[in-house]
Amino acid sequence: MSPDPVVVTVDQTRCIGSGLCARTAPDALALGPNGRAIPVHPTAAPSHTLTEAAEMCPVEAIAVHHATTGELLAPIW
Amino acid sequence: MTTAAHPEAPDAQPLVPLHCLLHAEPGPPRQAALPTGTPVWVLSRHADVRQALAHPGFGRATLHAPDAPPLTLTPNILDDPASMLNSDGPDHQQIRRTVQRAFTPRAIERWRPWVDGVVRELVDELAASGSPADVVAALTKPLPVRVISRLMELEGLDIDRLGHWSDHALSTTAYTADEIRTAIREFSEFGYQLVVARRENPGEDLVSSLVQAADQTGGVTEEQLTSLTIGLVIAGHETTMTSFGNALVYLLDPQHADAWRRVGEDLSAATAATEQILRTVPLGDRTSAPGLLRRAVADVEIGGVLIPEGAIIACDAGSANHDPAVYPTGPTDLFSPLGAPSLTFGAGPHHCLGAWLARMELELGLHHLARVLPDLRLAAPVEDIAWRTGLLTRSPLRLDVAW
């Protein structure tokens, strides 16, 4: 059984376009034409790199939630 | 940090406080020249600056390529090609990822009780010393040094020596090129010895974790590690001291007396005011360059202008932070939320690593000072302030306050 999918969101107001997330998790995040990060797919499979991308964001603009329960999976305080 | 004072010449016109500096009206990219004569495109609109700083078509590494035009009249530490600031793309991200983890909002928040304690201690000592007092010597200068010293476990470090290096490393006209090179060499040697020592005897401090992370990841050179280490020492105190001192010049103006009391009564008011002050009060006069420099590595269109490959751009965050397309015009409401992030800490891959630490030191510093001394005022007219000049930043050399 594959793990439950997750939803990745990027707060477009907070995002400062560091690009660290796109470098860390290129399957899930990319830099958009306006220089801000956007999720590549509406949902994704949970992964270590995705968690790392959310934790690495210099302004905490990225959140990873469980797709059905809505539980915040990363970044965790 | 200053051991040698750099007050302006006695017959000079008084310098205006940083919050009174005029900003160029944000507009389309325009052509200007650096003090070296090198032509630059100056970007001044919020959207243009933000886009350019995050755009892979602009970099910093090529600013120091053999074919690059002269950018500064004297050397400074920001030009070190080994520094994280002067690398781009995957090279840069490898180093940045090594240090980023220690500087996320969550990582910095863990330091709050400790920073809070240091601020309270310094403010209580200042209040106990009696009115009037020099708030630079008592608070704005020692606070950032104590914080970064603790983070890097540099207790026992000769603060005056550090100040000497730091002043030279960020000098524009205060020292000769030879003096600057000598100081940067000594400072680098200090940084290198620190890296070696922490590799042999790792502790819980930031330098040890950097060395360990770099050694595990691989690919980070000894030179880059050294540059990173001394960069953290400088960045960790110079800019925060400057912001704090200039914030006080602004807030202790009698017209802000009510705001000052509110900052002391309510920490969230101090947090909001910190953001607005960081947005509106620049760190320096930007005499060495009209903004943050980048070089086009491809033809890039920004703000309706085609910037050709090889051209230099200067991103004027000071103007962009006042862009009427993004922020309200008129007097600053210190307690309203920013909406769009200010460009004070930059944007893109080189967004200031220490932004959250600086914010925390400022908001706690302002809050506790205003809480303990709600009637604080400047002891002398603003025109009489002696400034540290000839450096990339400008802040009061001393600031006498009374209550």
Question: What's the pLDDT tens digit per position in B298-323?
Answer: 999 999 999 999 999 999 999 999 99
CA-to-CA distance for B154 and B372, rounded, in angstroms? 29
Distance from the Cα of A77 to chain B's closest Cα (Å) equals 6
Tens-place pLDDT, residues A17-31? 998 899 889 999 999
**Res. B155: pLDDT tops 80:** no
The token duo for B321 is 């932070």
Among candidates B55, B93, B105 on the partner chain, residue whose Cβ is nearest the Cβ of A60: B105
CA-to-CA distance for B306 and B16, rounded, in angstroms? 36
Q: Which residues from B are below 8 Å from A18, CB to CB?
A: 54, 96, 347-349, 351
The token duo for B396 is 């009061």
Contact A16 B105 (CB under 8 A): no
Long-range contacts from B381-389, C-beta under 8 angstroms, 24+ separation: B382/B17, B382/B249, B382/B253, B383/B14, B384/B14, B385/B14, B385/B15, B385/B17, B385/B249, B386/B5, B386/B7, B386/B8, B387/B7, B387/B8, B387/B15, B388/B2, B388/B5, B388/B6, B388/B7, B389/B6, B389/B7, B389/B8, B389/B15, B389/B174
**What average pLDDT does the segment A2-30 reach?**
91
**What average pLDDT does the segment B383-402 reach?**
91
Closest CA to B388 of B70, B5, B3: B5
Check: CB of residue B231 under 8 Å from CB of residue B269.
Answer: no
Q: Work out whether strand B133-134 and strand B292-296 pair parallel, antiparallel, or are unpaired.
A: unpaired
Closest CA to A4 of A65, A77, A75, A74: A65
Coil, helix or strand at residue A62: strand
pLDDT value of position B181: 87
> In chain A, where are the structural domains located?
6-74
Ranges B243-252, B348-357, B372-381: which has the least confidence: B348-357
Q: Could you identify the residue written with the tokens 């007092």?
A: B133
* DSSP character at residue B15: P
CA-to-CA distance for A49 and A55, rounded, in angstroms? 10
Among candidates B101, B346, B348 on the partner chain, residue whose Cβ is nearest the Cβ of A35: B348
Contact B349 A19 (CB under 8 A): yes
Chain A's closest residue to B99, CA to CA, is: A56
Answer whether A31 touches B (CB < 8 Å): yes
Answer whether A77 touches B (CB < 8 Å): yes
Answer whether B46 touches A (CB < 8 Å): no
Distance from the Cα of A49 to chain B's closest Cα (Å) equals 13
**Res. B5: pLDDT tops 60:** no
**Res. B256: pLDDT tops 90:** yes
Quickly list H helices, B201-221: 206-217
CA-to-CA distance for B252 and B287, rounded, in angstroms? 26
**Res. B3: pLDDT tops 70:** no
The token duo for B242 is 């400057």
Domains of chain B: 18-22+61-282+322-384 (1.10.630.10)
Tens-place pLDDT, residues B47-93? 999 999 999 899 999 998 889 999 988 777 777 777 888 889 888 88
Contact B96 A31 (CB under 8 A): no
Check: CB of residue A19 under 8 Å from CB of residue B348.
Answer: yes
Answer whether B339 touches A (CB < 8 Å): yes
Contact B347 A58 (CB under 8 A): no
**Residue-level length of chain B:** 403
Check: CB of residue B279 under 8 Å from CB of residue B298.
Answer: no
Distance from the Cα of A1 to chain B's closest Cα (Å) equals 32
**Res. B8: pLDDT tops 60:** no
**What average pLDDT does the segment B197-224 reach?**
87
Q: CATH topology for A6-74?
A: Alpha-Beta Plaits (3.30.70)
CA-to-CA distance for B1 and B161, rounded, in angstroms? 10
Distance from the Cα of B237 to chain A's closest Cα (Å) equals 20
Contact B54 A16 (CB under 8 A): yes
Quickly list H helices, B71-221: 89-100, 105-109, 112-129, 135, 142-151, 159-169, 177-200, 206-217
**Residue-level length of chain A:** 77
Residue to substitute from A12, A15, A18, A52, interface B, most B β-carbons within 10 A: A18
Q: Could you identify the residue written with the tokens 């509106």?
A: B280
CA-to-CA distance for B225 and B370, rounded, in angstroms? 39
Contact A20 B348 (CB under 8 A): no
Contact A17 B97 (CB under 8 A): no
Tens-place pLDDT, residues A30-73? 998 778 899 999 899 999 999 989 988 999 999 999 999 999 99
